[in-house]
Amino acid sequence: MEQVRESLVIAWYTRREGVVRGPFPPDHITRYILLGRIRLDDELSHDQLSWRLARSVATLLPAEMVKLQGWEDYQQLIEARMRVDERKQDRRCGQCPNCSNCHPERRAPGDRRKGDDRLLINHYLYENNQTQKAQQVHSCRLRTLLLTLLLATLMFAWLVPGSR
């Protein structure tokens, strides 16, 4: 029911560190999340009264970010980011210090893009492997327990005079 209401929302507002921006249509929000302009920890609201983390509004998350379980999924995410990125690489020439004459659309020299969202990378690298880590910790604890029991048994057998 909640997702049905979310899909009917016409405009969304974003909030990061107390700064509210918007309104944006839902497809812009999805695109901005994909490009990293809206982070998963940013807050979203359609009425500016109730705010939720972007990661919890499932209808606005890009399909490529919903399931990141392997390298192929991460590659698809990068390809989707490249598809929706409207910035033009050909405007970035490093040949002249003042490119205003040769590229009228140019804003500033250098690439202003940021790297991947650290939270997303951490989720990809660590969160998806929690079950494997839990199994490794469990097996390590089991080995430690068995080794301790073996040593205790040997000590008991050595120290008790009647068992020889």
Give 42-85 pLDDT, tens digit per residue: 999 988 899 999 888 888 888 787 777 788 877 877 888 888 77
DSSP 8-state symbol, 117: -
What is the pLDDT at residue 99? 53
Average pLDDT, the chain: 76
Q: Rounded distance, CA 2 to CA 9, Å?
A: 11
Give 1-56 pLDDT, tens digit per residue: 455 455 566 889 999 998 998 889 988 888 888 888 888 889 999 888 999 998 88
| Omega before 23 within 30 of 0, i.e. cis | yes
Each domain of the chain, given as residue ranges in start order, spans 2-125, 127-163
What is the pLDDT at residue 75? 82
Give 81-97 pLDDT, tens digit per residue: 888 777 655 555 555 55
What is the pLDDT at residue 1? 46
What is the pLDDT at residue 106? 56
Q: Beginning with the edge strand found earlier in the chain, give each strand of the sheet holding 43-45 in spatial order.
A: 19-24, 12-16, 43-45, 52-53
What is the pLDDT at residue 101? 56
- Residue 136: what residue type? Q
Give 106-158 pLDDT, tens digit per residue: 566 666 666 667 777 776 666 656 666 667 777 888 889 999 999 999 988 88
Q: Rounded distance, CA 111 to CA 85, Å?
A: 13
Which has the closest alpha carbon to 44: 28, 55, 31?
55
What is the pLDDT at residue 55? 86
